[in-house]
Amino acid sequence: MRTGLLVLSATGLSACVTINIYFPAAAAEKAADKVIDEIWQVPAGQSPASSRHSAPTATPVTPSATPVTPTVNPESVP
Amino acid sequence: MMILLHNCSRLLQLFLHQGYQTLKIGAVFGCLAMFFATLPAYAAADLDVNTPAVAAVKASMQSRHLQLLPHYQSGAVGLTADGFVAVKEAGLVPLSQRSALTALVKDENADRARLYQGMAAANGHPEWEGEIQRTFAQRWVDKAQAGWFVQRDGQWVRK
């Protein structure tokens, strides 16, 4: 009888283990959001015209990325 | 007869007591087992993993996004309900670029399949691939920008 109950509780234990490995939906959603943001985020300086919400991060990069002003200087400077 | 009855009830009492003790032990062990079983489940509940394989797929998709972006905006390519992309309106792209567009979509979908599979494998649960794909499918559509085409109930809808 004791062994029978032990077997029963052992089955119960394994059932517990099986039940508890569930799919963490909330964590998956959070991870998906992070991955999507990483992939869809326009790399800074590459195409500032199409970036909408990443304007503050793009502004410090654009001056160095656009070498327009140096090309004008050789005209005036001897 | 009386003795037999007495013996019987004594036996029953013993049986019940024994059963109670075993149940008690079982309950304690059950609680302990549940505690330890939930620990790895909670530890694994962080799906945000970055294995080299997943990182490589993400980098590849990130660089491809610049090429796909104009097609999302024009409506040539849309986001499907199952977490992939598809050519929605090939006519919006010049004939000479159509094969390139098809290849772009094909490569993107291969990467997406690798991403879902890679994330499931990195968490030690390859069987989660389908669930991860479903989660992504929902989030791609939710996060799509206004003007992009997304698939809902088999229909293309402009966000």
> Is residue A13, in this structure, part of any structural domain at all?
yes
Structure-block tokens of residue B43: 């530890």
Structure-block tokens of residue B112: 């997406």
Query: Is B106 in the same domain as B141?
Result: yes
Give the whole-angstrom CA distance, residue B159 versus residue B142: 9
Structure-block tokens of residue B87: 């050519």
Per-residue pLDDT averaged across B47-56, rounded? Answer: 89
Chain B residue numbers with beta carbons less than 8 Å from the beta carbon of A47 are 66
pLDDT at B45: 56
Chain B residue numbers with beta carbons less than 8 Å from the beta carbon of A25 are 131, 135
Can you give the residue range of the structural domain that contains A17? Answer: 9-35
Can you give the residue range of the structural domain that contains B131? Answer: 52-158
pLDDT at B3: 54
- What residue ranges in B2-159 does DSSP mark as E strands? 77-79, 85-87, 149-152, 155-158
Give the whole-angstrom CA distance, residue B86 versus residue B12: 71
How many domains is chain A built from?
A: 1
Sorting pLDDT into bands at 50, 70 and 90, what band is B49?
confident
pLDDT at residue B4 is higher than 60: no
pLDDT at A57: 45
Side chain identity, residue B31: C
How far is residue A35 CA from its own chain's centroid? 3
> Is residue A22, in this structure, part of any structural domain at all?
yes
Among the residue ranges A35-49, B55-69, B84-98, the one predicted with the least confidence is A35-49
CB contact under 8 A, B41 and A20: yes
Give the whole-angstrom CA distance, residue B94 versus residue B37: 57
